[in-house]
Each structure stands twice: as structure tokens, then as C-alpha cells.
Amino acid sequence: MAHAQAQPEELGTLVQQTADRLAEQRVGAVVAVVAGDAVEIRGAGSTGADHGRTVPGPDTLFEIGSVTKTFTALTLARLASAGAVGLDEPLRDLLPAGTHVPSRDGRQITLQHLATHTSGLPRLPRGMLLRFLLRPSTPDPYAGCTADVLLSGLARTRLGAAPGKRFRYSNLGAGLLGVALARRAGTDYETLVTREICAPLGMTDTVVTVDDPRSERSDRSDRSARGHNRRGRPATPWNLADLAGAGALRSTATDLVTFVRAQLDAGPVPAELAEAIRLSRSVEHRTSPFARVHLGWMAHRLHARQGGHLQIWHNGGTGGFSSFVGFDPEKQVAVIALGNTQRPVDRPAFDLLRTLQAAHASKPG
């Protein structure tokens, strides 16, 4: 049975309550919802950048961590739709000549395997876990992940499963996908994502480099939240070097609303990007009877007792930030949660998404 659509004032209250809930255990937070044509964005707490005087808002920049992977995977879908790469193209074909890429059982790692975490690669680059254990206080543990280091370590990496066989979440795989796509395009990762996704959608604050002198947006530093560790102490920014495709983007609630509206086909989306979004969701690898992974996105359907709703999502975390983006294309609702503390925002965000799904009328047809 369809429920009545939530009214804007009700949406605003729900969003503010979630932002307040998040800010109770974090320095600051911004929460945004999309419900049909309605958008609400609310903040709570502090940006942490000016002695607690400024509440974060729609245009405050946060590190979004692994939500970056959805941009990397959509870039893959965009280039695949344009014929510049093939989803089934071997990774080794996009890397420097002579690069050794591990295989298993006669199966090569493809670009699709990287975007769906089915490559068999480990979570982290070779040797990184040991370095992190020996120096847990490293400000940016990914700072040394240059392309040379990544490819050298790749040659000495053993796969945990044959490519395509099973899901195994891998920052290394996503980072290598970013490296490979940028090489094929003849540019750097940030420029590629801007060209293929952000510029067509008018997303001017989704960047790797906040202080880019070439940018027309010279005020990003002033609008950037300061990250904090779990104890609420200031944290060093993460830049991730050439592993950028795994988690180096910064963004705002405003830009991410535009991004999810494109995923919901609810805004003006260029035809070529709409085609890439459809392709990204047409690819799937089942991880259980109720869950699957698309190109860049996780997805599951709730049990019937919980409403049976579809939730497509990704979260992220860096040394000082946490993030969540989730949506339901069937009910045309989405939730974005951004925090400037290293404490997950997932539970309140999922709770809000379920509330919206239960309250929002089913899409006709």
C-alpha cells in the first residue's frame, strides 16, 4: 500500500534531527535528503576550522573517502559507453608495458573485476598493512602509494581467488582502476573525473585538490571542514597519492545531491552520462540472495518485514572524515551524510533512508 509523500517541513525536521544526532558524537555533520522533487540539507555542530564558530552547511567541503569509488566506477562506465575501454578489457592492457599483473586459474583481472571488487586482489597494497602496524600514527597512510610503488607491489601480489569468482573489497583494486583509466585517457585522475562526471553535471566542488590555482573556485579552503579522529582531535588530511581512485575526492552536500539526482534520473543529465549510469547498474555480482555489487555501488533488498525496499549505497572513511550516500531508485529517495570525524555515519543514515522509503509514495508504474 502506498504511503503519503512526506511534506517539505516534515523532511526538514527529519534531516535536522539526523544531523543533530550525528553531531552529538562528532565535531560536525551535514545531512541531505532527496525525496521526489524535494531536497533538504541541514548541518549541525562545527566545521572545526574556526574555533567552532561555523556550522557546516550545503557548501562545506568534506573528504568523502570511499564514496570516491562510485565516481571511479562511473568514469569506467562512461569510457566504456564511449568505446574508449572495454569492461572485460584486461587491466594489464592499460598499464605500462612490462607490468606484471597477477592472474589465477588462467583468468586475468579485468576492469569490471576492479569496479565490482571481484579481482581477487587484497584490500591494501602489498606491504602497506605491515607499515601501518609498525607506524599506526602515520598521518596519511596512503601518502607513499605512487604509481611506481603500486605497480611494483602488484607484481609481487598473489590473488586470493580467481578473478570474477568472489567479492573481496579492495582499495588497491579501486586505486588501480583509477590509475588505468587515467593512463588510457592520457591525463590524471582528477582531470578525468572532472571531465567525465563533474563538469557535465555542474558539480564544481568535487575535487582532489582543494587549492587548485587553475580553479575558478578560490574559496574552497575557506569552506573546507577540518577533520578529526575518533577522540575529536584534529587529523591530517588524506591525499592518497596515485591511489586516488579509491578515496581521494572531496565534495559537498550540494554536489552530492546533484550526483544522486543523476542516479535517480531526477535531474538534467546529459544523455551520454545517463547511459553510463544505466550501464553501471546493469552490471552486478551477487554476494548473497539479497545483496549484490554493481559498478562501484553496493546494493541489497531489505527483508519483507522491513518493507522489502531496495537500498543502493556506499560509505567512506578517512583519518578525519566519514561519509554515506544511499538511494532507492524505486521510491526516488536518497540520503547523504557527511561528518568531519573518524566515526561512521552509516547507522543514522540508513535509519533515515528507511524512514523515507516507508513514507514516500511508490513511483507510478
Residues with Cβ within 8 Å of residue 187, at least 6 apart in sequence: 195
Instruction: State which residues form the domain around 210.
Output: 8-359
Q: Is the residue at 87 inside a domain? A: yes
Q: Is the residue at 364 inside a domain? A: no
Q: Is the residue at 365 inside a domain? A: no
Q: Is the residue at 1 inside a domain? A: no
Q: Is the residue at 3 inside a domain? A: no
pLDDT of residue 8: 62
pLDDT of residue 364: 44
pLDDT tens per residue across all 365 residues of the chain: 333 455 667 999 999 999 999 999 999 999 999 999 999 999 999 999 877 789 999 999 999 999 999 999 999 999 999 999 999 999 999 999 999 999 999 999 999 999 999 999 999 998 776 555 555 566 788 888 999 999 999 999 999 999 999 999 999 999 999 999 999 999 999 999 999 999 999 999 999 999 876 666 778 999 999 999 999 999 999 999 999 999 999 999 999 999 999 999 987 899 999 999 999 999 999 999 999 999 999 999 999 888 899 999 999 999 999 999 999 999 999 999 999 999 999 999 999 999 999 997 444 43
Give the domain CATH number at 181.
3.40.710.10
Residue 317 belongs to what H/E stretch?
strand 310-317
Q: Is the residue at 79 inside a domain? A: yes
pLDDT of residue 306: 87
| Long-range CB contacts (within 8 A, 24+) of 147-150 | 147/179, 147/242, 149/125, 150/125, 150/175, 150/176, 150/179, 150/242, 150/243
Give the chain's domain count. Answer: 1
Residues with Cβ within 8 Å of residue 246, at least 6 apart in sequence: 66, 68, 69, 72, 142, 171, 172, 174, 175, 178, 240
pLDDT of residue 217: 73
pLDDT of residue 4: 42
Q: Is the residue at 2 inside a domain? A: no
pLDDT of residue 311: 98
pLDDT of residue 218: 79
pLDDT of residue 136: 56
Q: Is the residue at 22 inside a domain? A: yes
